[in-house]
Structure 1
Amino acid sequence: MERGEKAYGDPGNLAKGPNVDLVICSTRVSKHLATVGPSLKAGKDVIVEWPLGKSLPDAKELLRLKKEGGEASCRQPSIKTAPLIKKLKELVDGESIGKVLNSSWMGQGGQQMESVTKGVEYLGIGEYRGNLITIRFGHQIDYFQQVIKVIDFPAGQQIGTFIKDTDDTIFLVGILSNGAPISYAFRGGKPFKRVPGIDWRIYGEKGEIKISADIPFISIFDGGIQVLVHDFETDEVIEVEIEKDGLGKLPMEARNVGRVYGAFRKGVDNCTFEDAMERVEFLDLLELENGHIVK
């Protein structure tokens, strides 16, 4: 190790480190509470990768520890910093398509169909709570809800040497705050060859926005992204340019995380623990409504 860095083998000792300014948690979901709980209690600045703990009780405890620790800055990597999401929100809020009447989202990608990669078997084990719903769907419904708000929504199989008991497919039907319906369909596995991994439509009174990309995780990866706006009055289709920033040279996985770190350095809160609680409560309700027992 260089420049006098110190390694800690215990979260409690890390929390006591006098020279520790920021604690970043990217461990398996089921270990979030144990990993950063002591640092939150000690008042350290903390960033936790999504989701916030493995369950609603975990998230509530993390939020309680954050408040107990005082003025610590507690964030989660946020899609609000992604240039694409900023542009989509600008298009919707800016009335380029008028009042939103409907939105549909369809995507495919990631793991968790017939197999998972060695080393991430936890994606197929329900008790670990790191799966298609909590991670992939959590990220996607987050950027979905940043662009257009949703307020309502109406058995395992054997793989290799363990029993997989997490979901492969998600369907969501919801209602926007203005009463317009939305639909969402997502499955794990590879997209159909030469077909976009996401087809997202936002239909308004004056026009429609169409978003497509190689994979559906557009808040993190920006491969093959295209945004088109159909103006009903002129009957023209315009391709929208997404603004670039100085992080374009980084690997795709690092770009939005880099934006979070940049915001932290400037003292900007893009996504607090309180924000994350809204998503955790939504996922908890969704699973309970569908007969899942969340521990």
Structure 2
Amino acid sequence: MAPTRVGFIGLSKSGWAPRAHLPYLKSSPDYEIVAICNSSVESAREAIKLYELPSSVKAYANPEGKSRPHVILSISNSIKLTNTSDIANDKDVDLVVCSVRVDRHLPTISPSLRAGKDVLVEWPLGKNLAEAEELLALKNVGGVKNAVVDLQARQAPIVRKAKELIEQGKIGSVLSSTWTGAAGTFGAGYGKSYEYLGRREVGGNMVTIHFGHAVDYVQYVLGYGFNEHGAKSVVANRRPILKLLEDDGKTVIEEKHVKTSDDTIFLTGTLSSGIPLSFSLRGDKAFKNTPGLDWRIYGSTGEIRITASGPFLQIGYPDLKLEVYDFESDVLEEVEVGDDLEEVEGPAKNVGRVYRGVGEGENNCTFEDAVERHRLIAGMYRENGIEN
């Protein structure tokens, strides 16, 4: 079978895309990058050269459909004509992958959805519920077959193992669950590269990213949605003033930088599955010598505990641990999780599993699923009197 031809929007010199997407796309025979769309043709060309992609890869600069031809030099220094805007209408592109800042998702992937192209986009889907719903509507109007959101923690072996153990009755009937995490960010200061995380209006912050990823994998294991009583939440910005630092983490740019996004999140309720859930996430690092994530799933005959340095199970940590405590035997067992994707490392593993699933006809997270996660967050904002 011919590989899926990928047009990648946002393959920069550094950041998430080259760390998490590129390793699997380059190593898998099931995918082939055929086009790069960056902020400029020159930037796209630089990415093609930097990541040693074939000289046949097209360089684009604008995904929004206003075509204008450019003359550029390919890597082999031969002159060729390319179009800076029509990645959405490029007949050689089967799948458009978008890895840009969330407030740019709507203008960036709308042309591809209108053109009926398959799309894989990072979570959050939009910068708020309204944008997410608009993208879902565009997907439906365009008749897009595969519209995937990269909530990739569902693919993490440790998450799937926890779900499997519960379904096998390893801890009997699940009675309740508690999740406690420290985000690692939003202590006394943060680096300028992540300053946008401190602006709620951008849409990428601790509520949407940290909480959004975590509550999704918790519900993947325990059941989506809440019962008729709904959930109660607290969302608060308890550190509205932080230091803005250079990316070295030491040099102060601004002593009193205003932060508008939130750093304290509590959520309690009973899931539609009948399982009571208590969820607590705060900013800053964890208490010394304690895990940054402590997730307990309490059952009638035992308990599952998942711990890690931080809450991002979609990225993974070297100290990830899944333990099962059997009440009757008083035995504590560390469960081997395994690795079914050894060819890539770090954050590329779970993103790679998403791509593998797409290739096998499994949509990790649909636009419809993502809109439901956005509705939960929008409801939490409303409950706490926060405009979004």
Indicate the residue corresponding to 1:72 in structure 2.
145
The match for 2:217 among 127, 130, 143 is 143
My pick for the range that moved more, 153-162 or 128-137, is 153-162
Q: Equivalent residue for 1:10?
A: 62
- In 1, Cα distance between the equivalents of 2:55 and 2:146? 26
Query: Does residue 263 of structure 2 align to residue 189 of structure 1?
Result: no
Q: Decide which of 313, 316, 323 is 1:228's aligned counterpart.
A: 323
Amino acid at match of 1:215: G
For residues 202-251 of structure 1, the C-alpha deviation after alignment (integer angstroms, 9 at most, x for no partner) is 1111111111112111122132111111112222111111021133x523
Map of 2:51 onto structure 1? none
Question: Quick one: which of 360, 363, 367 aligns to 1:269?
Answer: 363
Render the CA deviation track for 1:236-277: whole Å, top value 9, x for unaligned: 111111021133x52311111111111122222121111111
Match of 2:374 among 280, 292, 295: 280
Task: Tell me the CA shift for residue 47 of structure 1.
Answer: 0.5
Q: Which has the higher contact order (CA 8 A, sep 6+)?
A: 1
Contact kept? 2:182, 2:292, Cα under 8 Å: yes
Query: Which one is further off, 35-44 or 103-112?
Result: 103-112
Q: Secondary structure at the match of 1:208?
A: strand
Report if the CA contact (8 A) 2:324-2:335 is conserved: yes
Alpha-carbon offset, residue 180 of structure 1: 4.0
Inter-partner Cα distance in structure 2 for 1:222 and 1:90: 21
**1:47 is aligned to 2:120:** yes
TM-score, normalised to structure 1, is: 0.94
Match of 1:56 among 129, 132, 140: 129
Match of 1:120, SS state, is helix
What's the offset of the Cα at 1:291?
1.0
- Corresponding residue for 1:255? 349
Question: Aligned residues, how many?
Answer: 293
Normalised TM-score (structure 2): 0.72
Higher Cα Rg, which structure: 2
Contact 2:206 2:262 in 1 (8 A): yes
Please give the root-mean-square deviation of Cα atoms over the aligned residues, in Å: 1.6
- How many angstroms does 1:169 deviate by? 1.4
User: Secondary structure of the equivalent of 1:229?
Assistant: strand
State the shift of 1:184 in Å: 1.2
| Structure 1 residues 58 and 206: CA distance shift in structure 2, 3 A | same
In structure 2, runs of 5+ residues without a counterpart are: 1-47, 49-53, 65-85, 245-253
My pick for the range that moved more, 194-203 or 177-186, is 177-186
CA distance in 2, matches of 1:38, 1:112: 35
Q: Distance in 1 between matches of 2:347 and 2:212?
A: 17
Structure 1: gaps spanning 5 or more residues: none
Amino acid at match of 2:185: Q
- Percent identical across equivalent pairs? 46
User: After the TM superposition, which of the residue ranges 93-102 and 170-179 deviates more from structure 2?
Assistant: 170-179
Summarize the Cα distance change of 1:176–1:44 in structure 2 as closer, same or farther, 3 Å threshold. Answer: same
Q: Residues 138, 178 of structure 1: CA spacing in aligned structure 2 closer, same or farther, 3 A cutoff?
A: closer
130, 136, 153: which one pairs with 2:231? Answer: 153
Partners of 2:171 and 2:298 within 8 A in 1: yes
1:214-225 superposed matches below 5 A: 214-225=309-320
Q: CA deviation at 1:201?
A: 0.7
Q: Which residue, 157, 181, 187 being the options, matches 1:83?
A: 157
Q: For residues 73 and 182 of structure 1, what CA distance do their matches in structure 2 show?
A: 32
Q: Which residue of 1 aligns with 2:190?
A: 116
